[in-house]
Amino acid sequence: MGIEAHRRKISNEKQAAIIRAAQEIFLTHGYTRAGMADIARDADVSTATLYKHFSSKEELFAAVVKDVARETVDYESLISQGDTARDILYKVARGYLSTQFDNHANALMRIVIAEVPGAPKLASEMYDLLSTRRHEKLRAVIDEMVRNKLLKPHDTEFGVRIGSGALKELFVWPALFDASYTLPPDTDEKIHRCIDAYLALFGVEENS
Amino acid sequence: MFLTKLKIFDVLIEDNNLCKDGMHSEGKVNLGLSSYRRSVSEAKRKAILQAARDHFLKNGYSRAAMADIARDADVSTATLYKHFSSKDDLFAAIVEDTYLRLGVALPSDIDGLTAREFFMMLADAYAAQQIEGQMNKLFRMVIAEVPTAPHLAKTVYQDGIVRAYAYLQKVADALVARGDLKPHHTADGVRHLGGMLKEYIVWPALFSQEFSRTDDMKKNLELCVDTYLAIYGTEVSTRRPEKDTSGN
Spatial CA neighbour of B12 closest among B134, B166, B135, B126? B166
Give A203's contacts in chain B (Cβ within 8 Å).
Answer: none
Spatial CA neighbour of B6 closest among B105, B100, B108? B108
Q: Which residues pair with B181 in a beta bridge?
A: B233
Give B162's contacts in chain A (Cβ within 8 Å).
Answer: none
Give the CA distances from residue A72 to residues A57, A131, B242, in Å, rounded to whole numbers and listed in that order.
Answer: 24, 16, 54
Classify residue B57 by burial, with Cβ atoms within 10 Å: 0-12, 13-18, 19+: middle
| B207 close contact with A: CB closer than 8 A | yes
- Give the H/E segment covering residue A172: none
Helix axes A156-167, A187-202, angle to 10 degrees: 160
A113 closest CB neighbour out of B144, B192, B232: B144
Interchain proximity B231–A201, CB inside 8 Å: yes
In chain A, positions 113-172, which contact chain B (CB-CB < 8 Å)? 113-114, 116-117, 120, 123-124, 126-127, 131, 158, 161-162, 164-170
Q: What angle do CA B148, B149, B154 make, to 5 degrees?
A: 135
Tell me which range, A89-103, A156-170, B45-59, is most confidently predicted by mean pLDDT: A156-170
**In CATH, what number is assigned to the domain containing residue B218?**
1.10.357.10
Tens digit of pLDDT at every position of chain B (248 positions): 333 344 444 545 443 433 334 344 444 455 677 777 788 888 899 999 999 999 888 888 888 899 999 999 999 999 999 999 998 889 888 888 887 777 777 776 788 899 999 999 999 999 999 998 889 999 998 898 888 888 888 988 988 889 889 989 999 999 999 999 999 999 999 999 999 999 999 999 999 988 999 899 999 999 999 999 999 999 877 776 665 555 44
- pTM attached to this predicted model: 0.83
Contact B170, B6 (CB under 8 A): yes
| Whole-number Å distance between alpha carbons of B116 and B126 | 15
Interchain proximity B207–A177, CB inside 8 Å: no
Helix, strand, coil fractions of chain B, as percent rounded to 5 = 70, 0, 30
| Whole-number Å distance between alpha carbons of B197 and B222 | 10
Q: Quote the domain boundaries for residue B204.
A: 2-16+87-232
| Whole-number Å distance between alpha carbons of A177 and A173 | 7
Please report whether residue B71 resides in a domain.
no
Interchain proximity A170–B191, CB inside 8 Å: yes
| Whole-number Å distance between alpha carbons of A130 and A99 | 10
Spatial CA neighbour of B202 closest among B244, B115, B118, B142? B142
| Whole-number Å distance between alpha carbons of A176 and A113 | 10
Please report whether residue B60 resides in a domain.
no
Q: Where are the domains of chain A?
A: 3-66, 71-202
Give A176's contacts in chain B (Cβ within 8 Å).
Answer: 143, 146
Amino acid at B200: Y
Amino acid at B118: F
- A71-202, CATH topology level: Tetracycline Repressor; domain 2 (1.10.357)
What kind of architecture, by CATH, is found in domain A3-66?
Answer: Orthogonal Bundle (1.10)
Contact A166, B192 (CB under 8 A): yes
The predicted-structure confidence for A32-62, as pLDDT tens digits, reads as follows 888 999 999 999 999 999 999 999 998 998 8
Residue of A nearest to B162 (CA): A174
First-to-last C-alpha distance (Å) of chain B = 7
B192 closest CB neighbour out of A110, A180, A197: A197
Please report whether residue B215 resides in a domain.
yes
Cβ neighbours for B228, distance < 8 A, ≥ 6 positions apart: B119, B189, B192, B193, B196
Please report whether residue B176 resides in a domain.
yes
Interchain proximity B227–A162, CB inside 8 Å: yes
Q: How many domains, chain B?
A: 1
Q: Residue A45, Cα to own-chain centre: how many angstroms?
A: 27
Give the CA distances from residue B196 to residues A18, A178, B93, B191, in Å, rounded to whole numbers and listed in that order.
Answer: 37, 22, 27, 8
| Whole-number Å distance between alpha carbons of A15 and A52 | 10
Residue of A nearest to B145 (CA): A114
